Amino acid sequence: MDSKTSIIELPASVEANTSITPSIPQEIVDEILGHLAVPTNPDFESLRSCALVSESWVQSCQRHLFHTILFSARDMNRWLDVFPTKEESPANHVKHLRVWIGGYDCVPEWFFKYTWWFANVKKVTLIGKGGDPPLRVPSLWRLPQSVVSLTMNTDVVTLVQVRDIMAHLPNLDDLSLLGYPIAVDRNMLPGIGRVLKGRFGGGLQLYEGCVGEDVTNMLLEIQAGLHFTDVMIHGTHECFPSTVRLAESCGRTLMNLLYTASPYSKSYPFSWFNQF
């Protein structure tokens, strides 16, 4: 039996109804998502919901959701479970990378095999408090070359290790050091700043045990010199001479200087040195 295909022709008076959903311009979508991601009070729950609205919204939502990431050991394992490859991950959206480098649940050494994924990171914060033994070979760490700002709690590293970390950041502008570095043989300290290649033209903040002669000498031995525009120092009265040396080394680039001294230290001859 021959099979035939029937073609039913619609009357000319019948028109097909086509439903057109108007699209929202991407710049308006980005503006809306930007209000949800305001730094002072980001609404991450709403951003996650917006990521489900449309495929075209996903990239914009991820740019805000993954702007700042904190990695501990557990966080890193979860990240790799969800994003096993760089291509599948939102790593290119991360601008601020915070890493737990000492104490409970600090990242393992192998974490730093994956830092090249985060090629657009601008700021790195290394956090650490006592507890478990700190990581011992920062000279092998490879932070993204794009980093221009480094904040570091030095409680779990030596000053030599701080130098090793900074040495891998050729574009470093802003530097914040706080805490009390682990003691090291002072014979290892002279000349440790000579390999630093950063630009050092942004802000400098030194707190607690990072204010003093050793850190000052490390910074002053940078061959390209210091070009900080803003310097903030909080230490003791005994640290004032080091602060003066740092300020003088910046020359005409220094625009703002704030120096505060703890009242629980030996008095300095001039009380107005407390703050200026």
Kindly report, residue by residue over 197-225, the tens digit of the pLDDT.
899 999 999 998 898 888 999 899 888 89
Q: Tell me the per-residue pLDDT of 111-123, one tens digit each, with 9 for 90 and over.
A: 888 999 999 999 9
Could you give the CA distance from residue 103 to residue 156 in angstroms, rounded to a whole number? 8
Helix (H, G, I), strand (E, B) or coil at 198: coil
Half-sphere exposure of 26 (CA within 13 A, CB side): 7
The residues spanned by each domain of the chain are: 42-147, 152-276
> What count of other Cβ atoms lies within 10 Å of the Cβ of residue 266?
8
Query: Are the C-beta atoms of residues 106 and 129 closer than 8 Å to each other?
Result: no
pLDDT on residue 223: 83
Handedness of CA 241, 239, 214, 139 (dihedral sign): negative
Instruction: Provide φ and ψ at 212, rounded to 5°.
Output: 155, -175
Which pLDDT band, with edges at 50, 70 and 90, does 161 fall under?
Answer: confident
Of 237-241, 242-246, 263-267, the range with the lowest mean pLDDT is 263-267
pTM of the model: 0.77
When computed from its CA atoms, the radius of gyration of the chain, rounded to whole angstroms, is 27
Mean pLDDT of 126-153: 78
Per-residue pLDDT for 171 more than 90?
yes
- Residues 216 and 245: beta-carbon distance below 8 Å: yes
- Cβ atoms of residues 145 and 169 within 8 Å: yes
Range among 96-105, 146-155, 185-194 rated most confident: 146-155
Residue among 85, 77, 72 at smallest CA distance from 127: 72
Q: Is the dihedral of CA 205, 243, 209, 170 positive or negative?
A: positive
